[in-house]
Chains A and B, each alone.
Chain A
Amino acid sequence: MMKSVLMILGVLLVLVSCEKVIEIDLNNANPQIVVESELFKGENKFKVKLSYTSSFFKEEEQAFISDATVTLTEVGGESTNINYLDSGLYVLDNYIARDNKDYTLDVVVDGVTYSSTATMPAAVMLDSLVSRPLDGTFGPGDGFIVFMYWQDDPDVNNYYRAIVTLNGEELRSREDVYILDDNFTNGGSIEIPLFTQIFEQGDTVDVNFVSIDPKAYDYLLTLNTIIGNGQPSAAPANPNSNFSNNALGYFALYNGGVERVIIE
């Protein structure tokens, strides 16, 4: 919110400012491994995507890693090898992730092990989703805002993520990384709008409202600072990965459920 104020001050400056595309000579860094994996509670398809970083400006084919050894372990339980499918994806069909368990993901590439362990957080379910017409409160124009209602658990630090599916299509653009913690709202009856989207009449909105483990939350929080959401930083840095050996990316554990609202 502090940011919005600074942005509005910025608006006044924009009245006198001008923008242009410039040439900047950037170095090409050595390729670094990127791991992307999300484990949802319950029986789901578990996917791990492995790729390398590429040069910043140039158009390049994404370089995928196809020869890694990928293992998912329920700590104190079974280990499962995950097979390569294509396009950098390693897929495990019908994996059952359970409450209160720790999970470890190991990725071995060229003899180096990149490893991450996280705990399945407890679910907090939405009580309801309510849509309200924009009446000038949040800016001009027509459309609807969806409010989420839930009861925060006062005994723990909660970290949430809302993954929105609009008319059957999951929204995963840079503006859609919507995360919340309960630092200032602990234990409350929460009512928060989904700031990411203005909806139209007839839209079907599914919100997968999940609790997320703190390390993955920290990753997404630091990710947001460099992809243009949240507080911009004077000294940008890579997001705080939860993998060993400086692998980029995350292993995120989610626990929650889907609530639907149809805008009318």
Chain B
Amino acid sequence: MRASILFILFFSFYSAFGQNFTVSGSLRDGETGEDLIGATISVEELPGVGTSANAYGFYSLTLEKGEYTLVYEYIGLEKVVRKINLDQPLEINIELGQSSIQMEEVVIKAERDDANVSETKMSVTKLDPKDIASVPVIFGEKDIIKTLQLTPGVKTAGEGNSGFYVRGGGIDQNLILLDEAPVYNASHLLGFFSVFNSDAIKDVTLYKGGIPAEFGGRASSVMDIKMKDGNSKRLGVSGGVGLISSRLTVEAPIVKDKGSFMISGRRTYADVFLGLATNEALKNSTLYFYDLNAKANYRITKKDRIYLSGYFGRDIFGFNDNQFGFNWGNTTGTLRWNHLFSEKLFSNTSLIYSDYDYKFNASFGENASFSVSSGIEDINLKQDFSWFPSPNNTVKFGFNAVYHTFLPGEISSNEGSIFNDEKIPENYAMEGALYIQNDQKISDKISLNYGIRYAMFNQLGPGLIKTYDPEGTVTSENTFGDWESVKYYGGFEPRASAKYQINQNSSVKLSFTRNYQFVHLLSNSTTTTPTDVWVPSSVNVKPQISDQVAFGYFRNLFKNQYELSVETYYKTLENQIDYKNGADLILNPEVESELVFGDGYAYGAEFYLRKRKGDFTGWISYSVGRTFRRFKEINDGEYFPARQDRIHDLAVVGIYNITARWNVSGTFVFYTGDAATFPSGRYKLEGISVPYYTERNGYRFPNYNRMDLGATYISSKSDRFESSWNLSIYNVYGRENAFTIDFRQSEDNPNENEAFQIALFKWVPSLSYNFKF
């Protein structure tokens, strides 16, 4: 029964009315030649009929033979109107020019003024790096992830941290894609910076729910980040100099209008301040990170285009002339081939590489030094098709296959060292998926996006595979050969969203998403650290599964000047992972025996009001929600709040353009303190005062609040050159928000204990100079 309904939905668009022809082509920015992702094409004669450009700027619209007026629109750009006589297939490539009317500086990009209401998608946040330029952030380093943390349902992992939680899920439950390549550790410098240099970023979309079937692999969200293609019209240079880092981006055509490249670099120099340290060891230390993004694209023929993009980033840390050294980073590479099989069938083939690794070395003297390395590497082949059978249907289908190599850890030491060389054997796995989805308009009021994804995972040999009982004792040992299947997991992931348009200004939407997650991050600390280990699903570790239902009400007010949305969600989580007490997660060949497995759930509501136009723009975002976990071995098997169970989370962002040259901005953030485990008693052992714990996460940190202010002054602006100064102050009123809370013997009275907190970042001012020509 269910299958036949799907069949009808999929094929209902085959009904033919007379003779149809297709108009297709690509949409680009007239100034830079960048593809206009999501630009809209509407037909004046047929209200409600239209389409939008895909991730590569391609569009395809099939209509009955006739004369039409097509309207091409993209926010911030002048719209283009074309009269066509559709009596044969047409290819129309359009370049949209800069609008003569200055549009709002800060917008969260929307394809159409009313996209929020009219699209089927829900639980989606889009950002354009241009939009966030004037939102104040710590160290003046504009950061897409930190701006997303100010939107509903997204919570920061901690003060100044670029790790984030989506709708009660964990940090590792977010799939972060940079030009389709997964980024396994998106943090620099213990999380105070994200690895995404916003100069190199074109577009960011975060899916918190109602995730389309083309994405999968993580339980909570997908963050889809696309790099700039590079200016295909002329040479462009932009950059910035700040107190803590500098950036430079160069983009230029390879052959005008046929191909272009972009290369962007960033490096921090925080360690120059170490030279001021009085401590010799600190003085001889290094600490910096760099990012390099590069991308090139070329149109080989009218129907074929290739893209090559890569990211290289690393944190380098050395203490006291490398007595301790530590470096970590990601490398990604994506080779893509766009091919147009017909004006209705668009194909993209991607070959993707991703690698994360860390290396650590220490020296305690002549024969006591060693180095440790660990990492994960992916090779991924991905094929996606977009098929545009009729204006009311857009079908996407495809597959991908990933080969994972996990290097849990390797110690190597110099000759004569007391440390043994040891290598924990690599783990291997294949991960794959097949999907099909359709974006379908049923009527003026109802539209659907539905699809199904089959996700599979196969743990592979070679290796000695052990199984464990709940106590962590080995119950079986089996040796597997190369490519031999050790354990297979697979499952269907239904995805569906529906929209009902109440009137022109309001709609309600409903969605369901199921996600399997086959790789898991083990982290025993309160923040993301470089030594966190990714482990695959295996005979001992089952895949995480999440199911989410979300319902929302969307309304635009005052001619789309204001956007209002209310969303609620309920999410269940299966096969969640936690650790045994005292678990040793680093360099442990039997790390799977240290894990415990349980379940969880989360629910909440998100309120969002945004002013999108005018001299004053900004938003208020308020989320209320709970998230719980349950493990047999922890907290007597009772549900306990997860660390990120912040009940209330409020963010207010405002940007005001005073004059054409001056703008000021401010943000205010308030959230409930993290759930934490504090002692409920103490005792003496060997004369040492030892804390006594009763329940997991039974206490809370104090509530958090903070205000940041920023100002931007455009010092020169002409057609050829533009420059600006940006001043921002993080934590203006210097609130000491608890970063850690710990306990110790009171200095005044050794028999009493006291609690103390450490706060980071009181008033962090930063100044940067940015230019573009």
Question: Which residues does A use to contact B, with CB under 8 Å?
Answer: 1-2, 4-6, 8-9, 11-13, 16-24, 26-29, 31-32, 34, 36, 51-59, 62, 136-137, 139-140, 172-174, 177, 184-193, 218, 221-223, 225-227, 231-240, 248-250
Query: Which residues of the partner chain B approach A221 to less than 8 Å between Cβ atoms?
Result: 582
Query: Which residues of the partner chain A approach B581 to less than 8 Å between Cβ atoms?
Result: 222, 237-240
Q: Which of A24, A51, A53 has the most CB of B within 10 A?
A: A24
B281 within 8 Å of A (CB atoms): yes
CB-CB under 8 A for A20 and B281, given A27-B694, A190-B418: no
Q: Is the CB of A59 within 8 A of B680?
A: no
**Contact among B422, B582, B679, B738 with A184 in the assembled complex (CB-CB below 8 Å):** B422
Would you list the 7 A-B pairs with minimal beta carbon distance, nearest first?
Answer: A222-B582, A29-B680, A53-B681, A59-B751, A29-B681, A24-B755, A53-B683
Please report the C-alpha to C-alpha distance between residue A27 and residue B694 in the assembled complex, in whole angstroms.
9
Q: Is the CB of A137 within 8 A of B761?
A: no
Q: Is the CB of B680 within 8 A of A18?
A: no
Q: Is the CB of B324 within 8 A of A34?
A: no
B482 within 8 Å of A (CB atoms): no
Minimum CB–CB distance from A233 to chain B (whole Å) comes to 6
Query: Which residues of the partner chain A approach B364 to less than 8 Å between Cβ atoms?
Result: 137, 193
B368 within 8 Å of A (CB atoms): yes
Please report the C-alpha to C-alpha distance between residue A22 and residue B737 in the assembled complex, in whole angstroms.
11
Q: Is the CB of A188 within 8 A of B692?
A: no
Can you name 5 A-B pairs with beta carbons within 8 Å? A8-B319, A18-B736, A22-B755, A184-B411, A234-B643
Query: Which residues of the partner chain B approach A137 to less than 8 Å between Cβ atoms?
Result: 323, 364-365
Query: Which residues of the partner chain A approach B319 to less than 8 Å between Cβ atoms?
Result: 5, 8
**Contact among B279, B524, B683 with A34 in the assembled complex (CB-CB below 8 Å):** B683
Q: Is the CB of A12 within 8 A of B287?
A: yes
Which residue of chain B is the closest to A29 with respect to CB atoms?
B680
B348 within 8 Å of A (CB atoms): no
Minimum CB–CB distance from B357 to chain A (whole Å) comes to 15
Minimum CB–CB distance from B328 to chain A (whole Å) comes to 11
Q: Is the CB of B525 within 8 A of A28?
A: no
Minimum CB–CB distance from B287 to chain A (whole Å) comes to 7
Minimum CB–CB distance from A222 to chain B (whole Å) comes to 4
Q: Is the CB of B680 within 8 A of A227?
A: no
0/1 per residue, B326-347, Cβ < 8 Å to A?
Answer: 1000000000000000000000
Which residue of chain B is the closest to A11 with respect to CB atoms?
B282
CB-CB under 8 A for A59 and B749, given A22-B738, A184-B411: yes
Query: Which residues of the partner chain B approach A62 to less than 8 Å between Cβ atoms?
Result: 683-684
Q: Is the CB of A234 within 8 A of B531?
A: no
Q: Is the CB of A188 within 8 A of B418?
A: yes
Minimum CB–CB distance from A126 to chain B (whole Å) comes to 15
Q: Is the CB of B681 within 8 A of A55?
A: yes
Q: Is the CB of B694 within 8 A of A29?
A: yes
Query: Which residues of the partner chain B approach A231 to less than 8 Å between Cβ atoms?
Result: 524-525
Q: Is the CB of A2 within 8 A of B753?
A: no
Q: Is the CB of B677 within 8 A of A57?
A: no
Query: Which residues of the partner chain B approach A177 to less than 8 Å between Cβ atoms?
Result: 686, 688
B670 within 8 Å of A (CB atoms): no
Q: Is the CB of A236 within 8 A of B582?
A: no
Q: How many residues in B have their beta carbons less than 8 Å from beta carbons of A?
A: 81
Query: Which residues of the partner chain B approach A188 to less than 8 Å between Cβ atoms?
Result: 418-420
Q: Is the CB of B681 within 8 A of A32?
A: yes
Query: Which residues of the partner chain A approach B71 to less than 8 Å between Cβ atoms?
Result: none
Please report the C-alpha to C-alpha distance between residue A191 and residue B364 in the assembled complex, in whole angstroms.
11
In the complex, number of A-B residue pairs with CB atoms less than 8 Å apart: 205
Which of chain B's residues 689-708 have a Cβ closer than 8 Å to chain A?
Answer: 690-694, 696-699, 702
0/1 per residue, B414-426, Cβ < 8 Å to A?
Answer: 0000111010000
Q: Is the CB of B758 within 8 A of A57?
A: no
Q: Is the CB of B682 within 8 A of A56?
A: yes
If A28-B680, A184-B411, A191-B418 are given as contacts, then 19 extra A-B residue pairs at C-beta distance below 8 Å, sorted by A number, are: A1-B362, A16-B764, A18-B762, A20-B757, A22-B755, A23-B755, A24-B678, A24-B741, A27-B698, A55-B682, A56-B681, A56-B682, A57-B752, A137-B364, A172-B686, A184-B587, A185-B418, A238-B581, A239-B581
CB-CB under 8 A for A58 and B418, given A5-B360, A177-B686: no
Please report the C-alpha to C-alpha distance between residue A236 and residue B697 in the assembled complex, in whole angstroms.
9
Please report the C-alpha to C-alpha distance between residue A20 and residue B694 in the assembled complex, in whole angstroms.
25
**Contact among A5, A21, A23, A53 with B324 in the assembled complex (CB-CB below 8 Å):** A5
B47 within 8 Å of A (CB atoms): no
Q: Is the CB of B692 within 8 A of A29?
A: yes
Q: Is the CB of B696 within 8 A of A235?
A: yes
Q: Is the CB of A17 within 8 A of B760?
A: yes
CB-CB under 8 A for A227 and B702, given A22-B741, A26-B679, A237-B696: no
Minimum CB–CB distance from B50 to chain A (whole Å) comes to 50
Please report the C-alpha to C-alpha distance between residue A185 and residue B411 in the assembled complex, in whole angstroms.
11
Query: Which residues of the partner chain A approach B759 to less than 8 Å between Cβ atoms?
Result: 17-20
Query: Which residues of the partner chain B approach A226 to less than 8 Å between Cβ atoms?
Result: 690-691, 693
Minimum CB–CB distance from A143 to chain B (whole Å) comes to 16
Which of chain B's residues 261-297 have a Cβ closer than 8 Å to chain A?
Answer: 270, 274, 279-282, 285, 287
Minimum CB–CB distance from B643 to chain A (whole Å) comes to 7
B685 within 8 Å of A (CB atoms): yes
Query: Which residues of the partner chain A approach B757 to less than 8 Å between Cβ atoms?
Result: 19-20, 22
Minimum CB–CB distance from A237 to chain B (whole Å) comes to 5
B656 within 8 Å of A (CB atoms): no
Q: Is the CB of B694 within 8 A of A223?
A: no
Please report the C-alpha to C-alpha distance between residue A13 and residue B161 in the assembled complex, in whole angstroms.
13
B739 within 8 Å of A (CB atoms): yes
Query: Which residues of the partner chain A approach B189 to less than 8 Å between Cβ atoms?
Result: 9
Which residue of chain B is the closest to A62 with respect to CB atoms?
B684
Query: Which residues of the partner chain B approach A184 to less than 8 Å between Cβ atoms?
Result: 411, 419-420, 422, 587
Which residue of chain B is the closest to A225 with respect to CB atoms?
B582
Which of chain B's residues 573-595 have a Cβ closer than 8 Å to chain A?
Answer: 578-579, 581-582, 586-587
Query: Which residues of the partner chain A approach B18 to less than 8 Å between Cβ atoms?
Result: none
Please report the C-alpha to C-alpha distance between residue A11 and residue B682 in the assembled complex, in whole angstroms.
29
Please report the C-alpha to C-alpha distance between residue A250 and residue B170 in the assembled complex, in whole angstroms.
35
Query: Which residues of the partner chain A approach B756 to less than 8 Å between Cβ atoms?
Result: 19-22
CB-CB under 8 A for A18 and B682, given A174-B688, A190-B418, A236-B691: no
Minimum CB–CB distance from B161 to chain A (whole Å) comes to 12
Which residue of chain A is the closest to B679 with respect to CB atoms?
A56
Q: Is the CB of A51 within 8 A of B684?
A: yes
Query: Which residues of the partner chain B approach A18 to less than 8 Å between Cβ atoms?
Result: 736, 758-759, 762
Query: Which residues of the partner chain B approach A59 to less than 8 Å between Cβ atoms?
Result: 749, 751-752
Please report the C-alpha to C-alpha distance between residue A13 and residue B578 in the assembled complex, in whole angstroms.
28
**Contact among B365, B420, B682 with A185 in the assembled complex (CB-CB below 8 Å):** B420
Q: Is the CB of A218 within 8 A of B582?
A: yes
Q: Is the CB of A227 within 8 A of B688?
A: yes
Please report the C-alpha to C-alpha distance between residue A56 and residue B692 in the assembled complex, in whole angstroms.
8
Q: Is the CB of A172 within 8 A of B687?
A: yes
Please report the C-alpha to C-alpha distance between residue A239 and residue B752 in the assembled complex, in whole angstroms.
22
Minimum CB–CB distance from A212 to chain B (whole Å) comes to 14
